[in-house]
Amino acid sequence: MNKIRVRFAPSPTGYLHIGGARTALFNWLFAKKNGGAFILRIEDTDEARSTDESIRAIIESMQWLGLNWDEGPKIEDRGQRTEVRGQGTEVRGQRTEVRGQKTGDREKTHPPPLISQLSSLNSHLSPLTSHPSTLNSQLGSYGPYFQMERLDIYKKYAKQLISNGKAYYCYCTPEELKTMREEQQSKKLPPKYDGRCRNRGVRTDGGGQNAVIRFKMPREGKIAFDDIVRGHLEFENTLLDDFVILKASGVPTYNFACTIDDKLMEISHVIRGDDHLSNTPRQIHLYNALNWELPQFAHLSMILGPDGSRLSKRHGHTSVLEYKNDGYLNVALINYLALLGWSTSDSQQIFELDELLNKFSLEKCSKSPAIFDIQKLQWLNMEYLKKLSAEEIYKKSIPFITNAALPMDNPGLIIKILRTEKEKIKLLSDVPNIIDFFVLNDVKYESSALEKVLKDENADKILRDLLPIFENCNDFSKVLLEKSVRNFCELNGIKTSRAFHPVRVAVSGRMYGPGLFDLLELLGKQKVVERIAKFLSEYLEYGEEDKS
RNA sequence: GGCCCCAUUGUCUAGUGGACCAGGACGUAGCCCUCUCAAGGCUAAAACACGGGUUCGAAUCCCGUUGGGGCCA
């Protein structure tokens, strides 16, 4: 059996979105599970809409998710063009031609030394990448493939098709095509190219400058293939027209470039979104015309927004990096993505990566589209957060703490706080709010909390009585503190909650947080005493006067 | 407009002719725990799109309808 080789082939016309990431993940899982290769190919032939920013975002997203690719042109070969495609046109054609002819030559793909400039991209290596199966992959050693660097290859095959009589030059002008379309529409016929240039031959008068190359589509019969997730599929050839494979600019169209690359890169399984299902017959005709063996196809169902329509910006966050910035863990996103359109017979929900690799199969992918549900992602995120130690959570939340401009001079304290509070964290971005009143000098009092305390007219007296107890407490430990405060409540016949709540609000400014005595111990005697005193003078005396 | 794909609770799904008055998970509601907020534990409500067949028997197979999605323009 041939080696398993798969690819993820995004167009760099926007950020890597959730649907794309899921496709990438399934490809990656399939490759890793079967000891195959996973390739990243940037389909940047839509020159108007492709941007370097998108390429950067795609790469960063893939790396954050730990979906590293196994080969590609070496970074050294690309000179300055490391993580993004560059300008070095003169080298492009030659080198890529070489790659194109020597795709069988896999020795080239042994990892060269890491390039330092790219290793920075690896700084937030996910736990995923420490999985043994991914260790061999050197993130950043290889750039992905870029189709715009392979133009000569497509040209070569387009010419080959012409000389074999499977394709032809088309000299139709835009006006001509427009008229044709209008005529067809007026006759209620489906608009498609009628093939009028099929027999015009090659023009030599120089008027052929703007010629495109069209594929000669068979005009009868049908094409059939077996899709791993969809089963047997058939399409009528008459419905397909002589589509353009190479534009006048020399840039290939999607179906053509994709087919050529899949073949040259020896892709064994084309795993992609459902939206490409209708493109598949065209591509199969191309394979046939070139006498190439077909890969296996697997079309994954789409991921939709909450309203059941195609996932788009108006559904809120759709880009992978937005989830990173929101404080989701890569492992949680991976797990969630895996659950969208794939499942095991026992409906298992949480999968460690090795488990996922072990159990994943294309056959168990569902045919129906899936709606993205952020709630479940959040739940999974929490589950994964629970597995982390306070130290690990701290490390991962540093960017969020920094971003909130909180002092970072006492990591030990933050870790201690996280130890008591970690099961409440839904997102890494929750961390600043959980720790801020510990590490900041001033307490921000939430109005709802304030209201609640001021409502109890005894709060003032209770706090006044409690203050010396705290002041005189030499061992400011939660056990002792709890004993003292409970003791105080009992002696004075006060319900504990009537004492606990004012203290909590006075020192933290809010009604929620750690257990009161954990809170006090973590805060320390000095801050507790200072804050209660300040609270008494700033809020409660005023409250007294107000009442009288 | 043509063609293609899809259809189990609000959501992700299990289910491949009898073990299904449909199982798991998220979410929702209630209760318990409790100094607060969470977490946790327990319980509950909630689905086979519709209509025809086939069959002793259908969520499961076939046809149609409806709905959703995609591709080509």
Residue A544 has pLDDT above 60, yes or no: no
pTM confidence score:
0.87
Q: Which residue is nearest to nucleotide B25 (CA to C1')?
A: A349
Separation of CA A367 and C1' B53 in angstroms?
25
Q: What pLDDT sits at residue A391? A: 96
Phi, psi of A299, deg, nearest 5: -105, 115
Asked whether strand B has any atom less than 7 Å from the CB of A104, the reply is no
- Which residue is associated with the tokens 């330092």? A116
Residue A294 has pLDDT above 70, yes or no: yes
What's the token pair of residue A368? 């129906």
Q: Which residue is nearest to nucleotide B15 (CA to C1')?
A: A345
Mean pLDDT, range A215-219, rounded to an integer:
92
What residues pair up with A146 in beta bridges, in sequence order? Answer: A42
- DSSP for residue A26: H
Residue A125 has pLDDT above 80, yes or no: no
What residues pair up with A371 in beta bridges, in sequence order? Answer: A304
User: Nucleic chain B: which protein residues 435-494 of A have CB below 7 A from it?
Assistant: 482
User: Nucleic chain B: which protein residues 179-198 of A have CB below 7 A from it?
Assistant: 181, 188, 190-192
**A235-238, Cβ contacts within 8 angstroms, sequence gap of 24 or more:** A235/A280, A235/A281, A237/A281, A237/A285
Asked whether strand B has any atom less than 7 Å from the CB of A496, the reply is yes
Reported as half-sphere exposure (CB side, CA atoms, 13 A), residue A524 has a value of: 8
Residue A262 has pLDDT above 50, yes or no: yes
A156-191 confidence digits (pLDDT tens): 999 999 999 999 999 888 888 888 888 887 877 778
- DSSP for residue A149: G
Q: What pLDDT sits at residue A386? A: 95
A396-439 confidence digits (pLDDT tens): 999 999 999 999 999 999 999 999 999 999 999 999 999 999 99
Among A278-282, A318-322, A474-478, where is mean pLDDT lowest? A474-478
A519-540 confidence digits (pLDDT tens): 999 999 899 999 999 988 887 6
- Banded pLDDT at A210 (limits 50, 70, 90): confident
Separation of CA A139 and C1' B26 in angstroms?
34
- Banded pLDDT at A38 (limits 50, 70, 90): very high
A349-397 confidence digits (pLDDT tens): 999 999 999 999 999 999 999 999 999 999 999 999 999 999 999 999 9
Determine the Cα angle at A421 with ends A416 and A425, to 5°: 125
What is the ipTM score, two decimals?
0.94
- Which residue is associated with the tokens 């006048």? A248
User: Nucleic chain B: which protein residues 216-275 of A have CB below 7 A from it?
Assistant: 230-231, 233, 235-236, 239, 241, 243, 254, 274-275
Which percentage of chain A shows pLDDT scores above 70?
A: 85
Query: How would you class A27 by CB atoms within 10 Å of its CB: exposed for 0-12, middle for 13-18, buried for 19 or more?
Result: buried
Rounded Cα distance, A327 and A222, in Å: 50
Rounded Cα distance, A21 and A328, in Å: 15
Q: What pLDDT sits at residue A138? A: 40
Q: What pLDDT sits at residue A140? A: 53
Length of chain A: 548
Q: What pLDDT sits at residue A76? A: 53
Mean pLDDT, range A36-41, rounded to an integer:
96
pLDDT mean across residues, chain A: 84
- A369 nearest nt, CA–C1': B6
A127-162 confidence digits (pLDDT tens): 333 333 333 344 456 779 999 999 999 999 999 999
**How much is the CA Rg of chain A, to the nearest whole Å?**
32
Separation of CA A19 and C1' B15 in angstroms?
26
Separation of CA A280 and C1' B2 in angstroms?
17
Q: What pLDDT sits at residue A194? A: 85
A77-86 confidence digits (pLDDT tens): 544 443 444 3
Residue A198 has pLDDT above 70, yes or no: yes
What's the token pair of residue A255? 């179906």
What residues pair up with A365 in beta bridges, in sequence order? Answer: A342
Spatial CB neighbours of A379, under 8 Å, sequence gap ≥ 6: none
Q: Which of chain B's bases lie under 7 Å from a protein CB?
A: 1-8, 10-15, 23-27, 35-39, 68-73
Residue A101 has pLDDT above 60, yes or no: no
Which percentage of chain A shows pLDDT scores above 90?
A: 62
- A236 nearest nt, CA–C1': B3
- DSSP for residue A170: E
Separation of CA A16 and C1' B2 in angstroms?
32
Q: Which residue is nearest to nucleotide B73 (CA to C1')?
A: A191
3-state secondary structure at position A205: coil
